[in-house]
């Protein structure tokens, strides 16, 4: 005997409504929503055949509100088309069906009230803190790759920073649609100090763009939201030679080499927003900027391999672009 029955041929599972937003190079948002259902195994073929190709609208279970009442259904809108369906055996007598729906730049719909019992409550509500979402302690995971960009300035540090949040499931779509895709600056949780107090946030700086947002249910009421950011930083600025420091403090960018201050660029702003930048204008022209203000421009006589790089010979550090000397520091 099967313990517990299904209401009809399929029942939406608690972890239904997982979503992945991918931001492509043109700035379009490709959204994939995965709705998950359970059905009796012998009903699998019938359920698959009845899966709507173009739901109007696409909805997912919204979980439960903090007061224990059913959360509103997530209304993803009318723009979605069925992309694929997968079915796996589940518990001998059941099948678990995952239906993936895709849309480009979708327009969400108005949420509708959920249905079901009102037993149980959420222990500790996000709204007790006055926010729709809270940052997780694991936020700020980082990955740096060294990449060659031949059409820019050669070697770059491709930095990806993942910010992780928790939100009520019924509010997932609203939060995703309102998310800032170009945070300036990007900040993530700094964790705790040794004494247990809250540490300052990690300020990653300006210039990051969101490349992916991923929402996964972690309980019937909550979703974990991963926001992946990316920025390409010229290696000559991010990882200068040993013994060299390129930094910004109180709105003043500076360069030291083997303990000697060689360059300062005062933006006059008193704060570091964009900070220090090598900024490419063309295959032959590159600039030094501090907080977006241009302080130095170099133009090579020919493009060649337009690579910006440091070369060290003993106490001498040479910066070249397109194989021509721009800066030469001797300590």
Distance CA 308, CA 321 (A): 5
CA 44 to chain centre: 36
Query: Which of 214, 234, 254 is the C-terminal boundary of a domain?
Result: 234
What is the model's pLDDT at position 220? 81
Q: Is residue 230 part of a domain?
A: yes
The verdict on 98 and 139 lying in the same domain is no
Please report, for the domain that includes residue 34, its CATH number. Answer: 3.30.2000
Residues 100, 4 share a domain: yes
Domain boundary among 107, 142, 158: 107
- Domain annotation covers residue 121: no
Residue-level pLDDT at 287: 97
pLDDT for residue 123: 41
26-63 tens-digit pLDDT: 889 999 999 999 988 888 888 888 899 999 999 998 87
Q: Give yes or no: residues 101 and 2 share one domain.
A: yes
pLDDT computed for residue 66 by the predictor: 64
- Token pair listed for 1: 């005997």
**Domains in the chain: how many in total?**
3
How would you write 42-103 as a 3-class SS string?
HHHHHHHHCCCCCCCCEEECCCECCCCCECCEEEEECCCEEEEEEEEEECCCEEEEEEEEEE
Residue 221 is assigned to a structural domain of this protein: yes
Is 92 within 8 Å of 190 (Cβ atoms)? no
Long-range pairs of 279-283 with CB within 8 A, sequence gap ≥ 24: 280/152, 280/153, 283/322
Run means of pLDDT, 10 residues per run, the chain, 331 residues: 51 90 92 93 88 93 74 89 92 89 87 47 46 83 95 96 91 89 91 79 92 92 93 97 96 96 96 93 95 96 91 97 96 91
> Is the residue at 207 inside a domain?
yes
Identify whether the C-beta of residue 42 lies closer than 8 Å to the C-beta of residue 87.
no
Query: Do 97 and 146 reside in the same domain of the chain?
Result: no
The answer to whether residue 125 sits within a structural domain is no
**Using omega within 30 degrees of 0 as the cis cutoff, is the peptide bond preceding 57 cis?**
yes
Give yes or no: residues 263 and 305 share one domain.
Answer: yes
Q: How far is it, in rounded angstroms, from Cα 141 to Cα 145?
A: 14
Last residue of a domain, one of 234, 251, 282: 234
260 shares its domain with 323 = yes
Verify that 227 and 245 share a domain, yes or no.
Answer: no
| Residue 138: per-residue pLDDT | 86
Q: Are 95 and 29 within one domain?
A: yes
**Are residues 287 and 315 both part of a single domain?**
yes
Does residue 124 belong to any structural domain of this protein? no
**Domain contains 118:** no
The reply to whether 218 and 255 lie within a common domain is no
Per the document, the length of the chain is 331
For residues 155 and 224, is the Cβ–Cβ distance under 8 A? no
Is 85 found in the same domain as 8? yes
Here the tokens at position 28 are: 């379009």
Same structural domain, 5 and 98: yes
Show the domain range for 245. Answer: 240-330
Domain membership flag for residue 112: no
pTM: 0.85
């Amino acid at each position: 005997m099967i313990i517990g029955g299904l209401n009809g041929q399929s029942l939406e599972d608690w972890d239904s409504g997982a979503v992945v937003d991918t931001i492509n190079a043109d700035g379009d948002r490709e959204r994939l929503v995965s709705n998950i259902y359970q059905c009796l195994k012998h009903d699998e073929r019938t359920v698959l055949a009845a899966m709507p190709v173009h739901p109007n609208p696409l909805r997912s279970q919204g979980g439960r509100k903090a007061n224990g009442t059913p959360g509103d259904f997530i209304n993803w809108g009318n723009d979605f088309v069925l992309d694929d369906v997968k079915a796996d055996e589940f518990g001998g007598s059941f099948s678990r069906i995952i239906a993936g729906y895709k849309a480009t730049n979708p327009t969400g719909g108005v949420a509708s009230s959920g249905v079901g019992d009102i037993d149980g409550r959420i222990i500790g509500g996000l709204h007790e803190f006055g926010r729709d979402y809270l940052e997780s302690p694991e936020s700020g995971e980082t990955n740096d790759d060294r990449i060659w960009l031949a059409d820019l300035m050669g070697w770059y540090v491709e930095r990806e920073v993942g910010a992780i949040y928790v939100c009520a499931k019924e509010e997932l779509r609203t939060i995703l649609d309102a998310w800032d895709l170009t945070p300036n600056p990007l900040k993530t949780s700094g964790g705790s100090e040794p004494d247990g107090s809250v540490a300052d946030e990690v300020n990653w700086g300006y210039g990051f763009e969101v490349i992916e947002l991923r929402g996964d249910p972690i309980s019937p009421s909550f979703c974990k939201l991963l926001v992946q950011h990316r920025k390409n930083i010229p290696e000559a600025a991010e990882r200068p030679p040993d013994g060299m420091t390129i930094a910004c403090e109180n709105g003043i960018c500076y360069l030291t080499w083997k303990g000697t201050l060689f360059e300062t660029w005062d933006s006059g702003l008193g704060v570091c927003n964009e900070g220090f930048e090598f900024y490419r204008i063309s295959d032959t022209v590159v600039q030094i900027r501090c907080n977006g203000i241009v302080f130095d421009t170099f133009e090579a006589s020919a493009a060649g391999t337009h690579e910006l790089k440091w070369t060290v010979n003993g106490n001498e550090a040479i910066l070249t672009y397109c194989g021509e000397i721009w800066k030469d520091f001797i300590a």
